[in-house]
Amino acid sequence: MIIENNVLKKVFYEDIENGTVTIPDNVTEIGSDAFEGRKNLTSIDIPNNVKYIQSGAFAYCTFLKTVHIPDNIKYINNWTFMHCRDLISINIPDSVQRIGDLAFEGCEDLEYINVPNSITHIGTCAFGNCKNLISINIPNNVTYIGEYAFTNCEKLIKKGNFKACNITYNSDEIIYSCLNTEYEIGKQMTTINNIECGKRGYHYVKNLYDIFNCYYGNLNDIALFEIEAGDIIKKDVVDDLYVTNTIKLVRQIPWREALKNIYDF
């Protein structure tokens, strides 16, 4: 392995014995792509002396199954565990504040993950293509969820008819809008003819996690609603986006309620 200035720069195949590797006590940082593509790595216990794990550190370690992260890590950086397809368990300690873009993208065998209360930011496509993820708790402290954060997480199936709207303020009045259309809770919207996905009509999704394929960012600026669709519905086959000829916002769903129970069986 290559270590420079207490940074583990590179781990080679021959450094890994019986599926794991011992990280020396003088290492305080795991560098970018340090373990990338090491297919003979099956488990890793990152010691407490490590303070930082840089982007892509374990990307494409396709047979990595278990990881222990020490309590002093603050960030799970971009694409850190991307395409670790066999990853089945991982602890995220309470010290972590941010999960980066693509951090767990393509972790196809990951079923359960506990997100600690310390997390405030979940990055773009952070859990994208985690096809077997059936349970994830998202704490109340999360204020930002990135675009496509749960794309193709087919087993996160909180079903219903959901719509997100931008929140703006005009004096003391709250305005809910989407694609230049203003909505009122409980109001049946005007019927639209010749509806088209992404062009003309009232758009919504049928699985809660798909909201983040369409809306992302600061959750304080986005309102989530349960809706009633009209009598004509079309589906966009690419983005699981639905469009209807008329729509009614039944009630606003607090993010605390929605994200606490994003999964259903």
Which pLDDT tens digit goes with each residue over 204-247? Answer: 999 888 888 888 888 889 999 999 999 999 988 666 789 999 99
Give yes or no: residues 213 and 225 share one domain: yes
Looking at the structure, do residues 144 and 168 belong to the same domain, yes or no? no
Range of the domain at 228: 159-260
**Digit-coded pLDDT (tens) for 34-55:** 999 999 999 999 999 999 999 9
Extract long-range pairs of 111-120: CB within 8 Å, 24+ residues apart. Answer: 111/135, 112/136, 115/139, 115/142, 116/92, 117/141, 118/94, 119/92, 120/144
* Residue 59 sits in the same domain as residue 183: no
Distance CA 201, CA 53 (A): 45
**230, part of any domain:** yes
Same domain (yes/no): 88, 170: no
- The domain boundary, picked from 131, 156, 181, lies at 156
Give the pLDDT of residue 238.
63
For residue range 180-199, list pLDDT tens digits in order.
899 999 999 999 988 988 78
CA separation for the pair 217, 224 (Å, rounded):
13
In this structure, the answer to whether residues 31 and 129 fall within a common structural domain is yes
In eight-state DSSP terms, residue 24 is P
Domain shared by 151 and 164, yes or no: no
Around Cβ 219, how many Cβ atoms within 10 Å? 20
Residue 89 predicted with pLDDT over 80: no
CATH number, residue 119: 3.80.10.10
144 shares its domain with 172? no
In a domain, 235, yes or no: yes
The pLDDT of residue 265: 46
- Is there a single domain that holds both residue 5 and residue 111? yes
Q: Are residues 237 and 189 part of one domain?
A: yes
My answer on whether 195 and 178 are in the same domain is yes
**pTM of the entire predicted model:** 0.86
Domain closes at, from 97, 132, 156: 156
